[in-house]
Every structure is written in structure tokens, then in C-alpha cells.
Chain A
Amino acid sequence: AQKVTQTQTSISVVEKTTVTMDCVYETRDSSYFLFWYKQTASGEIVFLIRQDSYKKENATVGHYSLNFQKPKSSIGLIITATQIEDSAVYFCAMRDTEGADRLTFGKGTQLIIQP
């Protein structure tokens, strides 16, 4: 069965610095897809970035990038030049062929950006 684990419950950093959020996953499939979403204070869930398991290059979108370490089943999210607006709860999620279309989510990491 698929499993996604985010061990960091909460992280607090100063604005304009870089933060990394950890995520490890479990799957028996050789092909799978990893996603990061953020949930804002209003409750909105926003897609940020994805990594397909067969791609060797780490994905980058804007000031979000991923640290994909396949041998360790790890997909870290890196946010550079953080802004106050980045304060949110960040969820890691996975889809694999065993799970059909469903996303399996981690419990989330609350990110607090301080001025």
C-alpha cells in the first residue's frame, strides 16, 4: 500500500531565506508520480510542482524546486527567497499505478514565514 510521510509538523523561517520540507514515500511500483500542494489559510489547496519518477532531473517551477532522491524514496520541497505569502500548510502526495488515480497525502508541514 502507498504511504507518504512528512515528519516535520511545523517550520518557521525568516523571510527571504531558503526552506526545505521533507517527504518520504512508500510504493511497490516502479512508476509513480509525486506532487506538492499548499493549503492556504483560507483552506484553498493549490498545486505547486510535480516529479515523475522516471525523470532524473529535479523539477523546478518559479521559486519552488524538488530534491528527488529515488534510492531513498525521498522528495523534498525547496522554497527559495521565501515571502510572507508562502506561509501555509504544505502537503506531499503520491500517485502510482497500484492506487489508480487516487492521491495519497502526507499529514502536511505548516510553514511560517516571519518578517
Chain B
Amino acid sequence: DPKIIQKPKYLVAVTGSEKILICEQYLGHNAMYWYRQSAKKPLEFMFSYSYQKLMDNQTASSRFQPQSSKKNHLDLQITALKPDDSATYFCASSQAQTGVQDTQYFGPGTRLLVL
């Protein structure tokens, strides 16, 4: 069974619309992350959450909003979509504790195409 689930696998949206990318992890981890991979740039960190609290935000635009309704969920809401938002969005998780770094494991990704 997959340990990190991302839904949907593919998503096509129109410019200006809003979409939510879903991520659930069943690894018992307490830290979750979002990364983006586009054709123009390597994998880029977006957000990190630990115990459902925002720890780090490297996304300049407020159009991207993570949402954590449960400990093992970290969704990503994207508003006012632009063609440049087209990318594959990866969710990741780790067992993170203060002062201890741990390995991040990635979900299968959601491929977003904005027309």
C-alpha cells in the first residue's frame, strides 16, 4: 500500500481558477513538506509543517496556501492559477524532532497543467 498518497495524479485547470492538491501520509511522521518541480527549475522547496504548524515558507506568492486539517494531512491550495504554476507538486514527510534531521520521503506527485 502506498505510504504517501497525493490526489489527484493529474490536474488541468484554467487560468484564474483555484485548486486544492491533497496529501496524506501513513508513515506516522510529524513533519510534512511541499516541493515543486517544473521544466525550468530543479526541485524547489515550498513549505514545511511540523506538528501541523508552519515551520518554513519559501514561496513568495500568497496564492499558495498549505492547509493541515489532520496530523497526517497537508493539502496545498492554489488560487488565481497562472500558466507558470504548471509543474509537478510533490508532498514529502519525515520524522522530525528538534535538533534531529531526518530523511524525507516523497509522494508520487500531482502534475498540474494550467491553460
A interface residues (Cβ-Cβ under 8 A, vs B) = 33, 35, 37, 42-47, 50, 52, 91, 93, 95, 100-108
**Docked-complex contact A101 and B58, CB < 8 angstroms:** no
Which label, helix, strand, loop or mixed, suits the secondary structure of the A interface?
A: strand
Task: Count A/B pairs, Cβ under 8 Å.
Answer: 55
How large, as a class, is the contact surface on chain B? Answer: 20 to 34
B residues sitting closer than 8 Å to A (CB atoms) are 31, 33, 35, 42-45, 48, 50, 55-56, 58, 88, 90, 94, 96, 101, 103-106, 108-109, 111
* Interface pairs (6), CB distance under 8 Å: A33-B101, A47-B106, A101-B31, A101-B94, A101-B96, A102-B58
Distance (whole angstroms) from the CB of B93 to the closest CB of chain A: 11
Inter-subunit contact B42/A44 (CB<8 Å) = no
Interface residues of B, dominant DSSP? strand
**B32, closest chain A residue (CB):** A101
Report whether B33 and A105 are in contact in the complex, using a CB–CB cutoff of 8 Å: no
Q: A42 to B9, alpha carbons, bound, how many Å? A: 12
- CA–CA, A97 and B46, complex, Å: 17
CB distance from B58 to the nearest CB of A (A): 7
